[in-house]
Amino acid sequence: MSSTRLTREDAWKLVTQSTSNIGLIRHMLAVEAAMRAYARKYGEDEDYWAAIGLVHDFDYEQHPSMGGDLPQDEWHCFAGARRLRELGYPEETALDLLSHADYSGVPRDTLLRKALFAVDELTGLISAVALVRPSKSILDVTVKSVRNKWKDKAFAAGVNRQDIERGAAELGVDLNEHIGLVLEAMQANAEALGLLGQPAQ
């Protein structure tokens, strides 16, 4: 089973079996879209990158702890990686999932792992920017509007801006370029992300 390749269909099944929170599902769909866009940019395997993006938080609803007294394999990401291993996916797939959590200790030593870390928090910030617009449409969001909200530390305070900056730096891309690529990917999937709203004509 070690040659089993994670597909989009497999990833979606894992997500829907383990997650009922629509906001969390939309977050995973946003990361999927961003990962596909980055795979295309770098000429990598779009389907695999997208599947990793989709599945990256599939264990979070049932295993939200990121430390503490629970055994490590019950922590977020570790529980997901354990499940992937149980299902027979390659160790690399489990490590790809683990890599987006700093506390996992898994090095971000591939383009995929760098991209996953870089897009994770950013998709949340872009979604928040869309939802405060009068239209509630991501189609009305620009890189400039994201950067304007970026400076307001009280806005989407749970989003770690430093992680986004670090992720872009690790990828070697300009921050505005990074925001633009992820924004475009999310705009192309606006309806699935619940961010179509009523765009300005």
Query: For the chain, how many structural domains are there in total?
Result: 1
Q: What is the pLDDT of residue 71?
A: 63
What's the pLDDT at 77? 83
Residue 21: predicted pLDDT: 96
Indicate whether 194 belongs to any domain.
no
Task: Compute the distance between CA of residue 129 and CA of residue 107 in angstroms, rounded to an integer.
Answer: 31
Residue 50: per-residue pLDDT: 98
pLDDT value for 2: 41
Tell me whether residue 106 is in a domain: yes
Q: What is the pTM of this model?
A: 0.94
CATH of the domain at 117: 1.10.3210
Could you tell me if residue 150 is inside a domain? yes
34 falls within a domain: yes
pLDDT attached to residue 61? 84
Domain of residue 23: give its range: 8-187
pLDDT along the chain (201 residues), means of 10: 78 96 97 98 97 95 69 74 95 95 90 97 97 96 96 92 96 97 98 92 57
Three-state helix/strand/coil letters over the chain: CCCCCCCHHHHHHHHHHHCCCHHHHHHHHHHHHHHHHHHHHHCCCHHHHHHHHHHCCCCCCCCCCCCCCCCHHHCCCHHHHHHHHHCCCCHHHHHHHHCCCHHHCCCCCCHHHHHHHHHHHHHHHHHHHHHCCCCCCHHHCCHHHHHHHHCCCCCCCCCCHHHHHHHHHHHCCCHHHHHHHHHHHHHCCCCCCCCCCCCCC
Is residue 172 included in any domain, yes or no? yes
User: Does residue 1 lie within any of the structural domains?
Assistant: no
Does 200 map to a domain? no
